[in-house]
């Protein structure tokens, strides 16, 4: 179930187009994060979230876009070794590109290399601390390692940034329930 949830999260975030642009450094992200945090409209929140992913996926280098698309195609096709190779190229080409690290973490996770996934997610988060997708993925890595306490911290951090992650909230609530033994 966790692996399928992770795959769905990655798939949704990866299938968006990759226009050339400023990526995580784009100043318009601030207003999008504000809107995401304050809206109660689920459809609007979904649209805002898609715009955030669009910005995160942007990169002005056509070779980077090519590597990322190749990696996404491979990841979606369950060819994790090829995806890892493509994302390795992206990270080598631009180590300041948070989404390259995030996507490479996804490939590591799917290959079962949780330590490498965790390192890449931490790098992505150092470059874009508001990356709720990386925080969700970090929580999933901790769950795969059987460590619920830091998984819950990662999920809660993602929810503070994007309170519209209903599946993440359900996962966090399930962890809380297991910890306390009482219904929430």
pLDDT one-digit tens code per residue, 17-70: 333 333 555 678 999 999 999 999 999 999 999 999 989 988 999 989 999 999
Q: Round the average pLDDT of the chain to a whole number and report it.
A: 87
Q: How far is CA 176 from CA 9, 155, 161, in A?
A: 22, 11, 19
pLDDT band (50, 70, 90) for residue 14: very low
Instruction: Give the residue, 182 or 84, on which the prediction is more confident.
Output: 84
Given phi > 0 = left and psi -120 to 50 = alpha, else beta, which region is 11? alpha
Return d(Cα 149, Cα 173) in angstroms, integer. 12
Given phi > 0 = left and psi -120 to 50 = alpha, else beta, which region is 156? alpha
Architecture of the domain defined by 2-180: Alpha Horseshoe (1.25)
Residues 120, 88 contacting (CB under 8 angstroms)? no
- The pTM assigned to this predicted structure is 0.83
């Amino acid at each position: 179930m966790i692996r399928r949830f992770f795959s769905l999260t990655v798939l949704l975030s990866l299938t968006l187009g990759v226009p050339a642009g400023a990526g995580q450094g784009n100043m318009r992200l601030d207003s999008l994060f504000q809107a995401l945090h304050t809206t109660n409209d689920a459809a609007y929140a979904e649209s805002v979230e898609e715009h955030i992913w669009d910005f995160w996926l942007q990169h002005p280098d056509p070779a980077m876009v090519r590597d990322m698309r190749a990696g996404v195609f491979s990841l979606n096709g369950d060819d994790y070794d090829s995806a890892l190779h493509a994302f390795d190229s992206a990270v080598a080409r631009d180590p300041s590109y948070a989404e390259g690290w995030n996507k490479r973490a996804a490939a590591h996770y799917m290959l079962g290399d949780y330590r490498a996934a965790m390192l890449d997610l931490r790098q992505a988060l150092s470059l874009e601390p508001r990356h709720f997708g990386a925080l969700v993925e970090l929580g999933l890595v901790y769950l795969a390692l059987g460590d619920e306490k830091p998984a819950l911290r990662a999920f809660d951090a993602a929810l503070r940034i994007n309170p519209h992650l209903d599946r993440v909230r359900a996962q966090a609530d399930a962890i809380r329930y297991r910890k306390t033994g009482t219904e929430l």
